[in-house]
């Protein structure tokens, strides 16, 4: 009996000690600063991009579209929801439903891709989650609407071009909910710590870096009183920013609901 109790306590400790790494809605395409327009392949995965210890099952997406603008031209909205195809994404620990999309962008300028996933029920937190996500692609170096709000329920509006960052640059953004800045909110930052294997729908098993301690896996930073944040980028590659629970909706199906605002950036080494 005592033995059983011992095992039980041991198990409990084991479960409790599983670190709560940040969930991130990936909206990934290998290159976001393009010379010319062409086909873009997106992998849309609900995962923990640094540790890759659990891939979560996505539900049916709510929206996927792109807002394109060249210079001072008109902003053009193109619905891309019909391009979404379910796939099975393989992480280190498990496989789960994710999505992919193959889309074409032609025009020079900015192409702001917006993805609204279906709500996800997190048993551990006993709450619904939804990460409204933006990835901004540029063609040919002509800027467009990168610094404009997309008009999402909640979003991060960049103050630096997310596709034109050198390693060591600072990335700044403003967190908005219903178009208004969210003061003092928490923002989680994570690095995609593995090769993204586009043709295998999987992460590579090997990590780029090892974190010395859990606080380095998911870095939590704070917005200031104006809802602005900044982050110095220490390494080339993909970085995700998730402003937590900032969406205006707080309840879904009678339970707690957290809508996060996510944006992805890509830094490039100077060489």
Q: Which residues bind another protein (CB under 8 A)?
A: 36-37, 70-74, 106-109, 139-144
Long-range contacts of 68-71 (CB under 8 A, 24+ apart): 68/105, 68/107, 68/109, 68/110, 68/111, 68/112, 68/144, 68/145, 69/109, 69/110, 69/144, 69/145, 69/148, 70/107, 70/108, 70/109, 70/110, 70/142, 70/144, 71/109, 71/142, 71/143, 71/144
Cβ nearer to another protein, comparing 105 with 182: 105
C-beta of 67: minimal distance to another protein in Å? 15
C-beta of 144: minimal distance to another protein in Å? 7
Round to whole Å and give the CA distance between 63 and 61. Answer: 6
Cβ nearer to another protein, comparing 40 with 96: 40
Do residues 117 and 80 lie in contact, with contact meaning Cβ atoms separated by under 8 Å? no
Cβ nearer to another protein, comparing 144 with 173: 144
Cβ nearer to another protein, comparing 139 with 202: 139
C-beta of 233: minimal distance to another protein in Å? 22
């Amino acid at each position: 009996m005592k033995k059983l109790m011992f095992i039980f306590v041991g198990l409990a400790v084991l479960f409790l000690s599983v670190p709560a790494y940040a969930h991130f809605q990936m909206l990934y395409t290998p290159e976001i600063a393009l010379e010319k327009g062409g086909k873009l392949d997106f992998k849309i995965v609900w995962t923990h991009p640094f540790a890759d210890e659990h891939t979560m099952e996505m539900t049916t997406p709510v929206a996927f579209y792109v807002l394109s603008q060249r210079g001072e031209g008109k902003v053009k909205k193109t619905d891309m929801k019909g391009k979404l195809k379910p796939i099975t994404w393989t992480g280190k620990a498990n496989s789960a439903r994710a999505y992919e999309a193959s889309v074409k962008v032609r025009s020079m300028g900015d192409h702001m891709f917006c993805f609204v996933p279906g709500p996800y029920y997190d048993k551990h937190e006993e709450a619904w989650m939804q990460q409204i996500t933006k990835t901004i692609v540029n063609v040919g170096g002509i800027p467009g609407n990168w610094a404009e709000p997309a008009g999402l329920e909640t979003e991060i509006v960049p103050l630096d071009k997310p596709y034109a960052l050198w390693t060591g640059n600072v990335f700044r953004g403003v967190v908005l909910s219903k178009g208004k800045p969210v003061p003092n909110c928490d923002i989680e930052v994570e690095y995609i710590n593995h090769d993204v294997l586009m043709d295998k729908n999987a992460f590579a098993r090997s990590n780029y870096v090892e974190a010395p301690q859990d606080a380095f896996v998911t870095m939590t930073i704070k917005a200031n009183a104006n809802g602005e944040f900044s982050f110095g980028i220490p390494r080339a590659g993909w970085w995700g920013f998730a402003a937590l629970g900032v969406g205006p909706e707080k309840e879904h199906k009678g339970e707690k609901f957290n809508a996060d605002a996510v944006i992805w950036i890509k830094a490039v080494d100077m060489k």
